[in-house]
Structure 1
Amino acid sequence: MPVELPDRRMLLVHAHPDDESIGTGATMARYAAEGAHVTLVTCTQGEQGEIVLPELAHLAPEHDDALGPHRAGELADAMAQLKVADHRFLGGPGRYRDSGMVWGADGRRAVAPDQLDARAFWSADLREAADHLVAVIREVRPQVLVTYDEHGGYGHPDHIQAHRVATYARDLAAVRSYRTDLGPAWDVPKVYWTATPREVLQEALTALRERGGAGFDNLASADDFGYVVDLADVDAVIDGSDHLDAKMAAMRAHATQIDVHWPYFTLSDNVGQPIWAQEYFRLAHGRRGPADPGTAVETDLFAGVGP
């Protein structure tokens, strides 16, 4: 293991530029500030993203098809705001393309479109994609890996594929005899899935609706978002209050995708969503560490693990 790596090491696997800042930006900023080595792997450049800035509409795939490199620049700016120096694209920039999405029949969960680009991440060979991540895992040897749940949160095919790749790569990286050319085996002690608790989201939406803002009048409840989980299923809550400004700055860096209006933000659908200072996680692999006596949840993703 390179001597320059600190004792605490975290790896996050996200699908597109902006996913990391929206869902885990405060967590990333907090651990980077505390001296942990934070590595972000982004699986695509987000080439199919819906652009919220009219003056940049020409970057869209149906025009110049230049959104991917532009969003890679936005991601670099976001990482500078979070003070995260180690960022990679899975397999290198442009290796896998954003698959795009359409809304399913229920209007709440995303599904893959009928037509996919030949390089679409959704169509990627699972072991090939996992091997790219195995190499990263064995290089940085994280104690904590963060990705999405098996539904990819709201169902985007690239989020589901990121979950699959991260899960498979974690298992493969731990096998001593597997692909020894990718480095010595490493067994990641803890894996977390990002989570949005129903009760917390509902409380935030109620407050935002009373305050007023874009996109709130047509929301009946937290269940309209289609990706919520029960608060009882949450294993860890990371308080990023001291790093909220950095998170919002990172979100603003993704200017083609996000419009930030504290205390909420909107995407291309103009549906308001709260900006979280606390971020929530479910433990998918490993043993829970010591919990907060008052809440019975972890307040540190590294709880219970050593260097």
Structure 2
Amino acid sequence: MQSAGPRTLLAVHAHPGDESTATGGMLAHYARQGVRTVVVTCTNGEFDDAPSGAVPGEVGHHPKAVAAHRRAELQAACDALGISDLELLGYHDSGHTGEVPEGGFCTIPVETAAGRLAALIEHYQPQVVVTHYSSHRDHMHVIRVAKLAVYRTGIPVKLYLTAKDGSTTIDISEVADEKRKALQCHASQQVHGAFALQEHYFRALDTTNAPLPETDLFAGVTTHGPDLPR
């Protein structure tokens, strides 16, 4: 399918850290190829642990300070992955369980958040959009928001969700060091251990008719513009 502009991939995630744990290898893989990689992070991560290890509700956990720390970790991780552009929507983290705080992301109307994401899609013109699937209430909301924004704009020709065993497999062995460095940037999350050298995705939307299974998120996409210099 023909598309104007350079190859562009937009990944939309709920919290700081999701970009590295869920899609870090894929993002580094395409960044290394010269693809314009855009990360959209919807919340500030206020309900993550504090750098001291304090959890929400404990003495020493200050949500605003945690959010500022998480944003700094996010920027460092994006630098490690070679991300071209980082966009912060600034919504409040809803937390895993319990009462949702006022303004929590999962309480924001889908139309409202999708409108903001649609504006970014119109600005960056991505051919491919990727989002993170899990049962976390903010992640489920991200999927609803991303789907509406993609369909509303009609610009992306492919939409993917992260998956344990999906229609598309990306080999990240050559960028394992970049993903490892990105994970280390999120020190407050205490992410340790080995990770798989493949990342899997489920293709939720496709207008290219590219055959499945596939090993390239851009399979079936032909662009007119040159990739970014690397």
Using the size of structure 2 for normalisation, the TM-score is 0.88
Letter of the 1:43 partner, please give it. Answer: C
* Aligned AA (1:79): C
What amino acid maps onto 2:114 in structure 1? A
Structure 1 or 2: more strand by fraction: 2
Cα RMSD over matched residues? 1.9
| Aligned equivalent of 1:303 | 219
The offset of 1:305, in angstroms, is 1.1
Does the 8 A contact of 1:81 with 1:246 survive in 2?
Answer: yes
Residue 227 (structure 2) aligns with? none
Q: What letter matches 1:64 in structure 2?
A: H
Structure with higher RCO (Cα < 8 A, 6+ apart): 2
Give the distance between the partners of 2:107 and 2:216, measured in 1 at CA: 35
> Which 5+ residue runs of structure 1 have no aligned equivalent?
103-112, 175-186, 198-233, 264-274
Alpha-carbon distance, 1:50 to partner: 3.3
CA offset at residue 290 of structure 1? 4.8
Offset, 1:6: 5.7
Is residue 2:138 matched to residue 1:158? yes
User: For 1:203-282, what aligned pairs fall within 5 Å after superposition?
Assistant: 234-261=166-193, 263=194, 275-282=195-202
Alpha-carbon distance in structure 2 between the residues aligned to 1:253 and 1:61: 24
Q: Which runs of 4+ in 1 moved over 3 A?
A: 59-63, 287-291
**Matched residues in 2 for 1:284 and 1:193: separation?**
7
Residue-pair matches, total = 217
Give the corresponding residue for 1:84.
83
Q: 2:80 and 2:39 mapped to 1: Cα distance? A: 14
- Partner residue, 1:173: 153
Shift of 1:61: 5.8
Aligned twin of 2:129: 145
Measured after TM superposition, the shift of residue 260 of structure 1 is: 1.6
C-alpha contact (below 8 Å) 2:28/2:83 kept by paired residues? yes
Partner of 1:22: 21
Rounded to whole Å, the distance in 2 between the matches of 1:17 and 1:48 is 11
> Structure 2: any 5+ residue segments left out of the alignment?
224-230
2:172 counterpart letter in structure 1: G
- Which one has the largest radius of gyration? 1
What displacement does 1:289 show? 5.6
- When residues 23 and 145 of structure 1 are mapped into structure 2, their CA distance, relative to the original with a 3 A threshold, is same
* TM-superposed deviation, 1:287: 4.3
Which amino acid is 2:202 matched to? R
- Percent identical: 37
Letter in 1 for 2:160: Y
Following TM superposition, by how much is the alpha carbon of 1:128 offset from its aligned partner in structure 2, in angstroms?
1.1
* SS of the residue 1:301 aligns to: coil
Structure 2 distance, partners of 1:44, 1:190, is 24
Distance 2:62 2:114 in 1: 31
